[in-house]
Structure 1
Amino acid sequence: MNRAAAGAERLAVLLVGLALLALGAAAAAWELDWIPDAVDRLDVSALLGRTDESWWPWAVGLLGLLLLVLGLLWLRAHAHRRSLGRLTLPGTGRRGALEADSGALVDAASEALDETPGVTARGGRIWRDQREVVVELRAALDPGADLDEVAEAADRAASVLGAGLGPQAPARCRVLLVRGRRRARRTRVR
C-alpha cells in the first residue's frame, strides 16, 4: 500500500468514526430527551416513499453486496504481510538483476545476535512496507543478559543488514527481544 492509499484510508476511518460518534451522540440526546419533538422534526417521507418501489430491494441488495466486497478487499489488503524470498538490490540495471536471498541475509544478521552471551537468535523475516524494506529479527533474551551488549549486538546485526541491502536501500531493522514465549522488550535499530 502506498502513502496516498494509506492516507486515504486513514481519512476514511476518521470520517466514519466521526459519523458514528455523531450518530451515537444524537441517539443519546434523543434518549435523554435533550432534543424535544425530534421525531416530529425529522422528515423522512421522501425516503419512505421510495421503499415501496420495485427497484428498492435490488438497490439495497447491491449496495450491501458492494459494501461486502469492499470490506473483503480491505481485509485482504491488511490480512498479512508477505515475506520476501529475494530482494532486488539498488543499482540493478535494466539487463541484469542484483538480488539477495532474504533467508541468507536474515541468517547473517542473526549470527551477530547469536554471538552475544544471553541472546539466542530465533530467525526473522523481510517484507516490503510501502517503499521501505523492513527486516525483523527475533531473539530470545536471558534474564541475566547485559543490555548494553545486546544493544551492541543489535547494532552489529543492523550493520550486517545495511551491508547486505546496500547503503542506498531504504530499510528499517527491528530486533524483537523475547523472554521465553512472551515479548519482553522491543528495540528498534535504524
Structure 2
Amino acid sequence: MRRLVLGLDRTVTLVLGSALIAAGIVLVFRPGLRPRLDAVALHSATGQPWWPWACALLAITGVWWLLAHLPRPTIAALLLPGSGQPGRLLLDPRGPATLAAEILAETPGVRSAHGRVLRDRGQIVVVINAVAEPHANLDDIADAADAVTADLHAVLDRDDVTARVNLAVAGKRRALPRVS
C-alpha cells in the first residue's frame, strides 16, 4: 500500500472511530439526546438537485478507495540457488535493486535513480527509473546501465529475473548542480 493511502486510511479511521465512540458515549449516558428516524426528511433529501452529485462523488471515492487498496505486484523475497533440504536461502530483492539504482545515480549526467522489484506478467523484473540531465552523454549512461544490470544479474544469480532501466530527461529549467 502506498504511503498516501496508508496515511489517509489511518486518519479516516481515527476520525471516524473517535466520532463513533463519542456518539456512542453520548447516546448511552444522555438518553434524551437520542435522535428519531424521520423517513420524510430522507425522502425529501433524495429529491434535491445536489443528491445525484453527492452520490456520484461517493461512488468515485469508493472506486478510488478500492483501487488504492489493490495489492501491488512487488516481490518480498527471492529464493536463491543453493536452497535445498537443509534450508532455504532467501534474499530481499529491494536491497540489490536500491544499490543498483544508487550506483547508476553516480554516473555523470544522471540526476537520480530509484530501483524496485515487481512481478510483471508472471516474470520478476527489476525496474530502475533514472532521470538524466539534459546535457548528459546518453552513450555513457547506456554503458553504465548495461554494467549495472549485468552486475545485478550476477548478484541475484537467477535466470528468471530481468532488469529494465527507464530513463527520463530532466527539464532544462530544473537542472541542479552536481556535487562530487
- Structure-2-length-normalised TM-score: 0.50
- Partner of residue 120, structure 2: 129
- Partner of residue 5, structure 2: none
Q: Residue by residue, what CA displacement relative to the aligned partner does 1:24-65 show, whole Å, maximum 9, x if unpaired?
A: xxxxxxxxxxxxxxxxxxxxxxxxxxxxxxxxxxxxxxxxxx
For structure 2, list consecutive stretches of 5 or more residues without a partner in the other structure: 1-65, 172-180
Number of equivalent positions: 105
Q: Residue by residue, what CA displacement relative to the aligned partner does 1:157-186 show, whole Å, maximum 9, x if unpaired?
A: 1022112210x42121110111348xxxxx
Query: Is 2:87 the counterpart of 1:100?
Result: no
**Equivalent residues of 1:131, 1:170 under 8 A apart:** no
- Structure-1-length-normalised TM-score: 0.48
**Secondary structure at the residue paired with 2:95?**
helix
- Partner of residue 174, structure 1: 164
Query: In 1, distance between residues paired with 2:138 and 2:94?
Result: 26
**Secondary structure at the residue paired with 1:174?**
strand
Query: In 2, distance between residues paired with 1:121 and 1:100?
Result: 25
Q: Residue by residue, what CA displacement relative to the aligned partner does 1:76-115 show, whole Å, maximum 9, x if unpaired?
A: 8xx6641113222233213312122222111221133112
Identity over aligned pairs, percent = 38
* Paired amino acid for 2:116: R
| 1:81-96 to 2 correspondences below 5 Å | 81-96=72-87
Higher strand share: 1
Structure 1 runs (4+) greater than 3 angstroms displaced: none
* Paired amino acid for 1:101: D
Query: In 1, distance between residues paired with 2:124 and 2:167?
Result: 20
| 1:61-76 to 2 correspondences below 5 Å | none
Query: In 2, distance between residues paired with 1:80 and 1:124?
Result: 19
* Paired amino acid for 2:166: L
* Paired amino acid for 1:82: P
